[in-house]
Amino acid sequence: MLSIIMDFIFPPRCPNCSAYVERRGTFCAPCMRRLSTVHALARAAEMMAYLDGIWAFAHYREAVRDLLRALKYQKQRSALPALHTLLVAGEDVLDDLPRPLVAVPVPLAPKRQRKRGFNQAEKIFAPWLRMHEISVAPLLVRTRETAPLYEHTRTERQRELRGAFALAADADAAGRDILLVDDIMTSGATLTECARTLKRAGARRVYAFVLASEHL
């Protein structure tokens, strides 16, 4: 009832262009077509030494960037429904991946996780993973915070991240096929380091899904 009243007073609008839409938390069709662009990423040979495939579902721009920032820095969980809709294309990718898969969200440093109250990667992917019966296992922990690495070259980032992740206590990655999930990929250094840690722990194949990528 409340939602009907809300929809009457504040009709749902596309979070990108403000056009009226049928359901709250959805993009209008033209924005969805433009922003939702599932694409395979393969940025560098050293990434692909540990990762068996990487896919991004949207450009990191316009409302995708704004919603992700609102979620991470203002803890606005109301940003989630629209972000969830971008993962629809994941179904086609999933058809080509081995099963069972275990999903591993890229972990935050404990201090940052406490401050934010949640891991955004987990929140973004949780409904989609549930729908596809992929269990989530926190196999990785972040052992230390790393400085923002925007200014660095890929090699510098990779060096800075060495040892930033470790297998969680009692976690068993041996022989498992793993799907890393994260909100955004910039250089890919974080995903590479996570995949390296998992492969060293015996993981069979490691794939990665990121909601948005800065590059195409």
Residue ranges binding Zn ion (CB under 5 A): 14, 16-17, 19, 28, 31
Alpha carbon dihedral 52, 58, 59, 65, in 10-degree steps, equals -120
Is the Cβ of residue 64 or residue 206 nearer to Zn ion in the bound state? 64
Q: How far apart are CA 56 and CA 211, in angstroms?
A: 6
Q: How far is the CB of 24 from Zn ion (least distance, A)?
A: 13
Minimum CB separation from Zn ion for residue 14, in Å?
Answer: 3
| Shorter beta-carbon distance to Zn ion: residue 30 or 138 | 30
Task: Strands of 42-193 (E only): list them.
Answer: 53-59, 102-105, 135-136, 140-142, 165-167, 177-185
CB of 63 to Zn ion, least distance (A): 8
Nearer to Zn ion by Cβ, of 31 and 104: the residue is 31
Report the alpha-carbon angle 143-145-148, nearest 5. 145
Smallest gap from residue 89 Cβ to Zn ion (A): 18
Helix (H) or strand (E) run with residue 195 in it: helix 189-200
- Residue 17 or 126: the one with the smaller Cβ distance to Zn ion is 17
Indicate the residue among 32 and 180 with the shorter CB distance to Zn ion.
32
CB of 4 to Zn ion, least distance (A): 23
- Min dist CB 16 to Zn ion, Å, is 4
* Cβ closest to Zn ion, residue 28 vs residue 129: 28
Q: Which helix (H) or strand (E) holds 129?
A: helix 120-131
Nearer to Zn ion (CB atom), residue 33 or residue 77: 33
Report the distance separating Cα 103 and Cα 93, nearest Å: 15
Phi, psi of 164 (to 5 degrees): -75, -15
Closest separation in Å from C-beta 58 to Zn ion = 13
Burial 71-104 (b: 16+ CB within 10 A, else e): bbeeeeeebbebbbbbbeebeebbeebeeebbbb
Q: Does residue 100 have a cis bond before it (omega within 30 degrees)?
A: yes
